[in-house]
Amino acid sequence: MAGAIQEFALGEPQPANVADIEAGLSAMWRTATESTDGKSAVSRASALTLLVYVDCEAAARDVSNLIAEVTRQNPCRAVMMVMDPKGSPAGLMASVSAHCHLASDGEKQVCSEQITLNSRGDTGRELISVVLPLTISGLPIYLWWRAGHFEIPAYFDHLLRVTQHVIVDSARFAAAGADLRSLAAWLEKQSGRIRLSDLNWARATPWREIMAQCFDSPDRRPYLYRIREVQIEYEMESARLTAQRSQSLLLTAWLATRLGWEFERTEHRGENMPRALCFKSADGEVKVERVLRKVEGGGSGVCFSFVIQADGARFSFSRGKDGKVVQTLAEVSGAPPIGRTVRIEAEDEIEILNDELMLSGRDHVYEEALALVARMTKY
């Protein structure tokens, strides 16, 4: 069981100034040390600088709690940038706090520090000039873009020049197609300099693994090249969290890029009918339908049905009502149907984020899928 977290904060938010922020951090650590009454030593720990972009003040408290959980596995200096261009009064305010993981008597209490910058009005450029000096020299810099749209302002360029890894969550993108296109265009401009991770891509990892395993057998592998139709059923969860909508696009692009399909067009099927994405494979045309349905049960965040129809075979993958298992069924001509039930260990946002913070190297499979999504959703 994870231990308790003790929070330290120093005073009320003040106008943002780098020197004052550093002085505030020093004062806060003195206060934290004194508060232990000598029972345990307080150790400041940072393995990286985590920059967090939040697009509304209402989300700031929740994100601060998430940062506290992140520091259990990845001690860091976190700088949370809360942007509210329409907020008033305009200005840039700063506050400092610490997340301390309580230790047993005599052991060190490991603490990570957090700087929260609230930017209201047209203060974005001023914000970046404050953030840059607060990154810790010699340690990797990560940017966690936790927002409902992906549109990085031009003044972030100075910050991105020193950032090694950008993390997004396309589950939060309100306009999945448009935001994934923006993300793909931004990534292309980076020319491979920055690693990009998508927490929603990671959520779909069990699906990709289960589908790939279904074709591990040499006698089934040829059917991969005889696929004619694919149907993905997904559900709309809410206006703010649309994990399955972006997942359905990414899973389609994953299949297409792995099997060498070339995107040709979007086929309109008529009013209230799903649109088909049409691809050209080495063996003919493949049509993929993404069908929006109302679904009862658990499993929020993961597409609930995937059907692959090939010449002479049908492969289906369905999420159980409890959201914790996937039921697979392989129906091959001339052979008895074979089904199995696979348990899914769904990770939460913090578990996935912590995993991504410990990874290195680019995810070329994701990048290829993202580039294809941009072409698929262009029209």
pLDDT tens column, 66-95: 999 999 899 999 999 999 988 889 999 999
CB atoms within 10 A of CB 130: 20
Claim to verify: residue 139 and residue 37 sit in the same structural domain? yes
Structural contact between residues 319 and 307, judged by C-beta atoms closer than 8 angstroms: no
Same domain, 238 and 312: yes
Tokens of 237: 């969860």
Residue 209, pLDDT above cutoff 80? yes
Tell me how crowded residue 378 is: count the other CB atoms within 10 A of its CB. 10
Of 75 and 101, which is predicted with more confidence? 75
pLDDT value at position 240?
A: 44
Same domain for 217 and 308, yes or no, is yes
The residue range of the domain holding 359 is 203-376
The one-letter code for the residue type at 107 is E
Q: Give CA–CA dist 46/41, Å, rounded.
A: 16
DSSP SS3 for 61: helix
Neighbours of 54 (CB within 10 A): 22
pLDDT surpassing 80 at residue 244: yes
Q: Which CATH number do you get for residue 309? A: 3.30.360
Same structural domain for residues 147 and 209? no
Amino acid letter for position 71: T
143 lies in some domain:
yes
Model pTM score: 0.91
Domain count, the chain: 2
Tell me which of 61-65, 173-177, 291-295, 316-320 is least confident.
291-295
pLDDT at 16 over 80: yes
Q: Which residues pair with 331 in a beta bridge?
A: 314
pLDDT tops 60 at residue 143:
yes
Whether the bond into 89 is cis, omega within 30 of 0: yes
Q: What is the average pLDDT score of the chain? A: 88
Residue 104 in this model has a pLDDT that exceeds 90: no
Higher pLDDT, 255 or 361: 255
For residues 72 and 67, what is the distance between their CA atoms, to the nearest angstrom? Answer: 9
Going by their DSSP bridges, the two strands 227-234 and 284-292 should be labelled as parallel
